[in-house]
Structure 1
């Protein structure tokens, strides 16, 4: 429909342009005929003045006689008779005159204006001579002459000091223009000076004010100007004169040119509005019956994809969308049922995985402990065997009880103490430990074996120089970070983490080595992730003295405030 509407509008504009072009072509011919005729007449008068000054013997010898002599008077009378006769040959000429320093001879077609013209020439003739250009008519103004504006041409008689000239009233040229152009509804014609001043006194009731720019003749056949009071648009055509500073202009009201076309314009616009109105109703109907249900369907699908399984679609009167909405609602109900079942299965799998991760840590220390007992027995060091067996018994007693999901921090620290005492039998006088745990933290609950694997990793990878004493420090503190959290830090004075290992640990990437200690660290991180669902965090860094440090961040919970594991 949009191309159809655009076609209507474009066709209307094309018709208006065609009408303007055809009307302009007709009036342009009329304007050119008048301007060419006026210029030819002015040129004929110029040629007449030149011939009068050059070929007429009386004009040539007038200044050779003494003023007042008989010959001078007779010659002056003959010249007066000639110009009285010649002024009738040119309808456009108002006055023909000759003057020198002593005399002014003139003949005019307006005998009642003779004295006025004589005074005007006496007052202005010298200035007119100074400003005249050979072959070009000078536009002059004097309010004493009817209409005020007139054209004047002055030609010097060679070697005599005598001048011949002619005056043409602009009102006369304007009258001849009005003969060819009927004023009224079809527009108006007028003659303008190049600065926009209207000449000839005709049509001065017009509100159209022209300026220098409006009067410039362009390559375009016409241009538009606007009435300052009524706002009406006029089609304007200009034709400047070739021999005088004046421009003939024709102003045609656009309403006259396009008379009849406005009805077609209104019809075109009415059709366009009607098409748009019908199309709007159609869009409203389509939106209600098609777009709105589709939007509801798309919105429901987005909500389903975001996990909002309680979304249901409303049905409308369209049979197809009733079927579509019922099908969507049934699918949403089935997805909800399937998701609940899968969620329960996932919880069971997570619990089984947690148990497997706990059991996976249990055998790490078993073989080394038996080797130590065997060596003490071989040395018949029964006291050491007793102490070793006691610590080992407590160690495995804790392991057998580690199937509990949560233990206290105090129980975890006792287990770590047993582990370190066993390790001190391997490295006597080389291994030390320091505990800095506030008493208020010892009752906090945590998953079993959450700290011990990091202590084990420190001894395996940090205690590389067995000649230098190795110390493990365990510190704890309570912090408020959008809730209560405890930070437990395990530090040593060993060689620290290699840069690549440290980067991979902090980015959560797997380590290339799969030994038991690093597998235990991965298990701890996975267990904390399953248990606290992102609330727990493990950070790795190297201390200022070059050792390794691991900080475990856990939510604070007690026996009366157990954290719910993910999915429970």
Structure 2
């Protein structure tokens, strides 16, 4: 009599979805805090880095400008006191000779302008001869230069310049700021001026952002061009200190050694402030949305799914436990409902087992099909060779050939799910090469570099033999004596076995090599005209056995084609030896 199974209520497990949602909610809090902290740190760090960059660049630029101004000072004093042309202009009585000297002085100014004084404007004036020589920079404003030249001539007669000084003076002309230097000696004058836009062009073009600016201040810290720009920017000056009302902006005042000016530099060191604020807002809003959705999902799951299902399950379990003792007094409808649940559970268990066995049978059928997909002309040629040797009565070679062919074919048609040792696979490869040597009277050979401990490792059959067959096949077309080299090693860190099969035969064509390394090639169902059937079969067999825990890589070396295979270094349990009853029990428990 069949023993009736007793349904024992299992310990209620905590719902996995609830765990995930709770974990997500808890993780969002540190993620939000870490993200906010990182963004704040990024803002502060970016601003500090920007301030340091601007300060270093401005200081370097002003040092270079001081050096240039000092060089011009030396040239001006040398021109005024020791230049033979200026002396000739001042002392020569003949008008023609003075004009020739003036022309020569202009040419000298032009030459200096092309060599080192490209942005400087040079001017020499001799009031006693009513003669002046000027050389303006071609890129400067002519009306401004003419106004400065006229101002110097008018002021020279009134002795407004006083004693010469090494410091360059600021000058505002037609809304533009200039640096001016004038030297006088024995009633003669030599001057040079430079536009501040040219002097500080590097700052505006490469150092400061599009929102940055610089303001030229005089010796009393007053803007040379007025305070309008400072007022618009909210900048206040208190002696040598400048403050800006906008948070985080760079605002510093720099002094020069060769010019009687100060330079105020203002800039926002973080140009993408608006984008950063947008990113912060987007980050916070996204986290809040995810948090709100998680809380809503958790509440909905608990209220409308978990609680009702737990109550229903509790009622069924309570009645199932009570009915064993009061079955005679119970309700027949409830008894039938519980029995229906029991029957449904058993049917689900049987269905899981049937589906599992069906998938296993399908995988086995596919593997056997791929193993039997072999070119028949190989065996036809073998029979022809045996017939030819029989005609020659070469019985010893017939025996040797038939023995090797028998071993090779027996190995070829063995169960595809039964693993073989690496030693067996190498033995068959040697016999296969011997068969080919007898067929084609070649001297094909195999070389291997394998640790003794790895020879007992089990691998899928025909794994290495397939690539050796391909190497022999393509070597035959070129009438080469082939050397196949097989290297096997263990990758300790990855827990994998690496197999390398290489030969001195023909190489993979470039287009075919790219095809073999493309995963999509093994999914197209053989749409390449039957090319590479053996390799696709190997890939399919490895997929059935290892899933996605293997890799095939094809490449060319200097001597020939190479194949690298990576397999998990683990004991494989053949599917044919699986205990279906045990698996069924496991499925029943799920």
TM-score (norm 2): 0.38
- Bigger relative contact order, structure 1 or 2, given CA contacts below 8 A and separation 6+? 2
Which of these two proteins has the greater Rg computed from alpha carbons?
A: 1
TM-score (norm 1): 0.39
Write 1 or 2 for the structure with the bigger share of helix.
2
